[in-house]
Copies of this chain bind each other. A is one copy, B any other.
């Protein structure tokens, strides 16, 4: 059974999808032009070593190419890491994205979910999480976190890494939404991968660059065990030609990047303000392009009600450790956001 967002294929064609959290600016003109121009390249095999792809990523995140692993979406890297790292346990900070649990189950490793989110303060309780860590574990932290939207700062993560350094753990930080924080210096651990050799950062072009259909994720680590495990578990030509073409364009598309950052700031504030005013709905401050909202109603009831307005939202079923009184909504373009707010008002305020 699938509880992911974005599964619009089960609904009417005109559904407005607040369940998946993708940049609504869509595919940039620059990328469209590059694909059209280079379309014939799909008739030759991609470079099995993905040299140019790795170079493009290396320049974008300012990390040595030798530290980069590429995958068929971030989820490919997460699954392979969990499967192949030599630890028996997988530990996550709940509530979070459900694929970590699925990866653990598939690998046969023991799965521990540590409910570390303080819903009153809207922060993760790092010292509580810290105190519960099993040694010999793969620890997965989604930062900023899905579905809470909140980001843990670099200082706290660095402290955490130091605290657990003798426990023989790998720490995977999934930064799929990092660019939306508009403050990578404060939150991203990419530049700490040289300092902590048990650290793995995972990124993707899916969310911020609005390209879930292109399937491109990447991992960053200075760890030999990890990098070798990833090389050995990769299949030849895992990444398609269009993803390679995209990497040459999107990371330098400053216009798209700036426009996206302007949009996210404006619309996050707009949504927060307006949902706050709706009786029975409590939005959480977010560092992301989605918002966790607490309600005094059951999420399945809210989901059903909004479907009458052709609006699809995300309910807690797809997450690990989230109660039924929460919904998650994407931040979209102004026009769509107004539709969501109006639907909530009509249904629950009048």
Contacts and interface: CB of A to CB of B under 8 A. Distances in A.
Interface of A: 2, 4-9, 17, 20, 22-23, 26-27, 32, 35-36, 39-49, 51, 72-73, 75-76, 79, 99, 106, 210-215, 232-233, 235-244
Contact of A44 (B6, B215, B235, B242): B6
Chain B CB within 10 Å — which of A6, A39, A43, A243 has the most?
A: A43
Contact of A233 (B45, B46, B106, B212): B106
B27 A42 contact: yes
A99 B45 contact: no
A113 to B, nearest CB: 20
11 contacts: A20-B45, A23-B43, A36-B36, A41-B213, A42-B213, A42-B214, A42-B242, A43-B211, A73-B237, A215-B238, A240-B240
Contacts of A39: 27, 32, 35
A212 B243 contact: no
A46 B75 CA distance: 14
A51 B66 CA distance: 38
Contact of A79 (B36, B47, B235): B235
A97 to B, nearest CB: 11
Nearest to A212: B45
Nearest to A213: B241
Contacts of A4: 45, 48, 236
A6 B47 CA distance: 8
A33 B220 CA distance: 37
A146 B211 CA distance: 36
Contacts of A44: 6, 8, 17, 20, 22, 212-213
A26 B43 contact: yes
A72 B241 CA distance: 12
A47 B9 contact: yes
